[in-house]
Amino acid sequence: MSAKPKLAFFSFASCEGCQLQVLNCEDELVDLVGAVDIVNFREAIDEKREDYDIAFVEGSITREEDVEEVKEIRERAKLVVAFGACATLGGVNAMKNLQPLDQVRRYVYGDKAQVFSTAEVRPVHEVIKVDAKLHGCPVSRPEFLELCKCLLAGKEFKAPNYPVCVDCKLLENVCLYHKGMTCLGVVTRAGCDPLCPSFGNKCIGCRGLVDNPNVDAAFDVLEDVGLTLDDVLKDFTMFNACDEKVKKAL
């Protein structure tokens, strides 16, 4: 990789909110653009070059024509980052997979349905090899900056692989289950500085499941408050409809 790596940002099915998080790094942006060349980033520049080193791919793959495009990105880039929940999990777009495709297409496009192509939603790693994943909806700014440092230093970036509950307990938040609510923090990957429960909102799993979720402990929590898996299953489909464990439980 050259002394000043070239970064490129691409979006597939997404709201581009994760790319906006890059622009929101106001204090660090000057240092970042001093360390790298950003050569493709439609949220901020007109330039569109194809000689990039690191590609940040935002969004999920939802059409057959996306497949060719993302494969071309993979061929050009030395490193590919799946950028945000749409890319790492399929995200909210994957709720489409829970209904017949034709029905979804008619619902969205009405009598123009046949004009627009659509396919089962897939996260990026199911179509091409990815070198790193940045979780969250949207991605966290500190994690984005940490990932950039790792990539520039040639180090592996490791996202936390323990549940949101750990950080939530450290903050001494009262558990939402004890307030009669549900929360997926028991099995969801930490790293968001338990954003939702800290503000009284349930975790809906935007960072995906930890690699080895302690399902027994999760069932114990549900049982303690008189709930079952069915009571939380719908929440899992918000971001994790592509996850094999969730698909099996549905």
- For ligand SF4, what does the binding mask look like between residues 8 and 37, x meaning CB under 6 A? ------xxxxx-------------------
Residue from the set 57, 81, 147, 168 that interacts with ligand SF4 by CB under 6 A: 168
- The verdict on 164 binding ligand SF4 (CB under 6 A) reads yes
* CB-based closest residue to ligand SF4: 185
- The rounded distance, in Å, linking the Cα atoms of 131 and 151 is 10
User: In sequence order, what are the beta bridge partners of 55?
Assistant: 8, 80
95 neighbors 69 (Cβ within 8 angstroms): no
Choose among 124, 213, 128, 230: nearest CA to 166.
213
- The verdict on 183 binding ligand SF4 (CB under 6 A) reads yes
Q: Which of residues 59-98 bind ligand SF4 (CB under 6 A)?
A: 84-86, 91-92
Choose among 129, 135, 200: nearest CA to 162.
135
- The verdict on 151 binding ligand SF4 (CB under 6 A) reads no
Q: Which of residues 119-138 bind ligand SF4 (CB under 6 A)?
A: 137-138
- What is the C-alpha radius of gyration for the chain, rounded to an integer number of angstroms? 19
> To which residue do tokens 């970064």 refer?
7
Q: Give the residues lining the site for ligand SF4 (CB under 6 A).
A: 14-18, 58, 84-86, 91-92, 137-138, 164-165, 168-169, 173, 175-177, 183, 185-186, 188, 192, 194-197, 203-207
